[in-house]
Amino acid sequence: MKAVILAGGKGTRGKPYTEYFPKAMIPINGKPLIDYIVKYLKSFSFIKEIIIISDFNGLGGQIKNYYGNQKNITFVQDSQSGTGGDLLYIEREVKDESEFVLWFVDNLCAIDLKKMKEFFKEKNSSACIAIRTKRKEETGFATVENGIIKEFREKPVMKLQLSECLGIYILGKNIIKRIKTKRKQKEINLSYDILQELSKEGKISAFDIEDTEWIDVESPTILERNEKTVKTIIKQMGF
Contact indicator for 50, 3 with CB cutoff of 8 Å: yes
Residue 100: inside a domain: yes
Residue 140: inside a domain: no
Quick one: residue 141, left, alpha or beta (phi over 0 = left, psi -120 to 50 = alpha)?
beta
Distance CA(233)–CA(239), nearest Å, equals 9
**Half-sphere exposure of residue 179: CA atoms within 13 angstroms, side-chain side:** 24
Q: How far is CA 20 from CA 15, 33, 62, 63, in A?
A: 9, 15, 10, 13
Residue 144: inside a domain: no
How would you class 212 by CB atoms within 10 Å of its CB: exposed for 0-12, middle for 13-18, buried for 19 or more?
middle
Which amino acid type is present at position 103? Answer: W
Per-residue confidence of the chain (239 residues) as pLDDT tens digits?
Answer: 999 999 986 656 666 667 778 899 999 999 999 999 999 999 999 999 999 999 999 999 999 999 988 889 999 999 888 999 999 999 999 988 999 999 999 999 999 999 999 999 999 999 999 999 998 877 788 889 999 998 888 887 888 889 999 999 999 989 999 999 998 888 999 999 999 999 999 999 999 999 999 999 988 888 998 899 999 999 999 99
Distance CA(105)–CA(7), nearest Å, equals 5
Domain count within the chain: 1
Residue 155: inside a domain: no
Distance CA(59)–CA(11), nearest Å, equals 11
Domain CATH code at residue 75: 3.90.550.10
Residue 89: inside a domain: yes
Residues of the domain holding 70: 2-133+162-236
Residue 156: inside a domain: no
End-to-end alpha-carbon separation of the chain, Å? Answer: 23
Residue 154: inside a domain: no
Contact indicator for 137, 156 with CB cutoff of 8 Å: yes
Residue 58: inside a domain: yes
